């Protein structure tokens, strides 16, 4: 990838008309990515976006890169194959909470545990948008939707907890109203070797409008967003007056004045054991509780594609380039004259 021409945002914008509902949070995410990509200095042609089905999954059509709009839930699997076959490419996976946590939940956790080099953007709007408003695997209990007129009795996934449970090597959360923070999380996920998962709180203004208002609105953030900063005590509030302590594996919110700064947990995203990150992820109890944002975990683990290519190289070093003739004769043979 030498001699790459510098690009600007508009180089990454495709000629397709964007078809999300006016006001949809997806627009802000699209802009953030299109602004971010020129930073990396990659060619558009070496970049691939792969999605499944859902509103978010229209994403590839709007990117002037290679892309596949595939089938519901399967994007992590398809992207895994591509990323393993072509380690020269920059492969992104984009999808919503229904796509990646319900029908495709299995593929997501396995891509994460394998640590395949993918940057995965999970647009979490806690609702099915494209099918017009059914509850999703991240909808809160009791949610009244078209398919749950008496309230949902499904217990929701916490995507960050799920990813940490799968021992994902990079896990972060951001939201669609803070472009700078989104770009920072995506940048870090992209720099990370292996699977990088970014959960993005995204507003679906048609079917779940304002779901995150209590957390992500500008005037709510100081009290409601617990910004995770590597190496720093976990605290929030306009004056940093609130903090997080962890006691016997359980995180809770305290007043710094009551416990003292030293009692707060110091965030260490590279801690190999995911337990503390998991405890922090449990703080996002609902959509009206203080919620951690930022990088929960970034650890180094062998990247699957690197290991796989390593085995290919080792096999070649040990046995030489594959020779069909000798394979055909590898079992017992006999001669008929």
Residue with Cβ nearer other proteins (238 or 328): 328
Our finding on whether 213 is near ligand SF4 (CB under 6 A) is no
Task: Candidates 18, 31, 35, 43: give the one binding other proteins (CB under 8 A).
Answer: 43
Q: What is the maximal distance between C-alpha atoms in the chain?
A: 94
Name the residue among 295, 291, 261, 259 with its Cα closest to residue 277. 295
250 to 104, 188, 253, 280, 315: CA distances (angstroms): 29, 27, 10, 8, 47
Residue with Cβ nearer ligand SF4 (58 or 235): 58
Rounded Cα gap, residues 200 and 120, in angstroms: 10
Crossing angle (nearest 10°) for helices 75-85 and 304-319: 40
Task: Candidates 4, 8, 9, 45: give the one binding other proteins (CB under 8 A).
Answer: 45
SS3 assignment, position 162:
helix
From the list ligand SF4, other proteins, none, which binds 20 (C-beta under 5 to 8 Å, kind-based)?
ligand SF4
Task: Candidates 70, 119, 124, 125: give the one binding ligand SF4 (CB under 6 A).
Answer: 125
Task: Candidates 13, 21, 183, 246: give the one binding ligand SF4 (CB under 6 A).
Answer: 21
From the list other proteins, ligand SF4, none, which binds 325 (C-beta under 5 to 8 Å, kind-based)?
other proteins
H/E element holding 243?
strand 242-247
From the list other proteins, ligand SF4, none, which binds 206 (C-beta under 5 to 8 Å, kind-based)?
ligand SF4
SS3 assignment, position 55:
coil
- Distance in Å, CB of 125 to ligand SF4, minimum: 5
**57-94 burial by CB neighbour count: b if 16+ within 10 A, else e?**
bbbbbbbbbbbebbbbbbbbbbbbebbbeeeebbbbbb
Task: Candidates 20, 49, 135, 212: give the one binding ligand SF4 (CB under 6 A).
Answer: 20
Binding mask 291-310 toward other proteins (x if CB under 8 A, else -) reads -----------------x--
Rounded Cα gap, residues 34 and 164, in angstroms: 28
Site for other proteins in 66-125 (CB under 8 A): 66-71, 74, 76-86, 88-89, 106-107, 110
Rounded Cα gap, residues 124 and 138, in angstroms: 8
Binding site for other proteins (CB under 8 A): 14, 16, 43-46, 48, 50, 53, 60-61, 63-71, 74, 76-86, 88-89, 106-107, 110, 308, 311-312, 314-316, 318-322, 324-325, 327-329, 331-337
């Amino acid at each position: 990838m030498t001699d790459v021409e510098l690009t600007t945002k508009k180089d990454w914008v495709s000629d397709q008309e964007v078809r999300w509902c006016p006001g949809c949070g997806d627009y802000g995410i699209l802009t953030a990515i299109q602004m971010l990509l020129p930073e990396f200095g990659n060619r558009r042609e070496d970049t691939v976006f792969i999605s499944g089905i859902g509103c978010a999954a229209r994403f590839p059509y709007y990117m002037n890169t290679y892309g596949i709009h595939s089938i519901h839930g399967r994007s992590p699997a398809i992207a895994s194959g591509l990323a393993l076959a072509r380690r020269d490419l920059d492969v992104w996976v984009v999808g919503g909470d229904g796509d990646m946590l319900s029908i495709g939940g299995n593929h997501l956790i396995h891509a994460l545990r394998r640590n395949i080099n993918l940057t995965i953007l999970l647009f979490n709007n806690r609702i099915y948008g494209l099918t017009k408003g059914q509850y999703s695997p991240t909808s809160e209990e009791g949610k009244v939707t078209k398919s749950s007129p008496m309230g949902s009795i499904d217990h929701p996934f916490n995507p960050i907890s799920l990813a940490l449970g799968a021992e994902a090597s990079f896990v972060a959360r951001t939201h669609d109203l803070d472009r700078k923070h989104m770009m920072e999380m995506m940048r870090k996920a992209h720099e990370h070797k292996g699977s990088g998962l970014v959960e993005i709180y995204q507003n679906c203004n048609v079917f779940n409008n304002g779901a995150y208002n209590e957390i992500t609105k500008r005037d709510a953030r100081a009290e409601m967003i617990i910004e995770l900063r590597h190496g720093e005590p976990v605290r929030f509030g306009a004056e940093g007056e609130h903090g997080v302590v962890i006691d016997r594996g359980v995180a809770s919110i305290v007043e710094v004045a009551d416990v003292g700064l030293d009692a707060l947990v110091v965030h260490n995203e590279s801690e190999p054991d995911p337990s503390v990150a998991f405890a922090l992820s449990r703080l996002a109890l609902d959509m009206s509780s203080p919620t951690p944002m930022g990088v929960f975990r970034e650890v180094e683990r062998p990247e699957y594609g690197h290991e796989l290519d390593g085995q290919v190289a080792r096999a070649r070093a040990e046995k030489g380039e594959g020779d069909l003739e000798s394979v055909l004769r590898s079992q017992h043979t006999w001669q008929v004259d």
